[in-house]
């Protein structure tokens, strides 16, 4: 083994961690959220490469809690991927999602069902698989259209209330 080979191998090993850090940071998935009912804001890198960040998911679970009761659940990480991919598809990487509804406890869901015909008995909000949103400076119909092209769950469009329901259930659509 000659000296040139040894130095080249040492240089490759020494530079590998820096390269790995750079390539991992190239696929950092970040979401910015504003909860309209609590006025809380959160900007968080929830996924790096293929790895969901546990502490970020915990922060998101708390942020998307049932604001009426304080109850929390584990939100489906694929819902965050759906939000991320919608904003990317729209070319609005710096946009902030305005949250109308995240997790709903069964008690809250039942109470809302008594006062509104638009609340499902088995709502995916109760399992942490649904979210109702707007995206800053973006018409809600564009959010609907982007989500529909992804074909990754339910998309409900509520133009009169100006929000879009997204979920990670079976592919389906409703609303205008």
Give the span between the Cα atoms of 127 and 104, in whole angstroms.
8
- Nearest to residue 62, comparing CAs of 103, 9, 118, 110? 103
**What's the mean pLDDT in 91-97?**
96
Nearest-angstrom CA–CA distance, 61 and 27: 22
pLDDT tens sequence across 73-87: 999 999 999 999 999
For residue range 16-58, list pLDDT tens digits in order: 343 344 454 459 999 999 999 999 999 999 999 999 999 999 9
pTM > 0.85: yes or no: no
Distance CA 159, CA 141 (A): 8
Q: Which helix (H) or strand (E) holds 154?
A: strand 154-158
Complete domains list, the chain, with CATH: 28-175 (3.30.1380.10)
């Amino acid at each position: 083994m000659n000296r040139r080979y040894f130095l080249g191998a040492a240089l490759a090993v020494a530079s590998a961690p820096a390269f790995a850090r750079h390539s991992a940071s190239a696929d950092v998935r970040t979401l910015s959220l504003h909860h309209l009912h609590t006025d809380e804001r959160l900007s968080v890198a929830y996924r790096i490469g293929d790895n969901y960040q546990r502490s970020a998911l915990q922060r998101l679970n708390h942020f998307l809690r049932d604001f009426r009761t304080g109850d929390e659940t584990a939100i489906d990480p694929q819902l965050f991927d759906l939000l991320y991919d919608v904003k990317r598809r729209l070319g609005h990487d710096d946009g902030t999602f305005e949250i109308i509804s995240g997790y709903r406890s069964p008690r809250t869901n039942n109470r809302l069902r008594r006062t509104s015909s638009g609340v499902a008995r088995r709502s995916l909000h109760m399992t942490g698989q649904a979210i109702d949103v707007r995206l800053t400076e973006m018409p809600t119909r564009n959010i609907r259209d982007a989500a529909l092209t992804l074909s990754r769950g339910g998309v409900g469009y509520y133009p009169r209330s100006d929000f879009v329901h997204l979920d990670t259930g079976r592919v389906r659509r409703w609303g205008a």
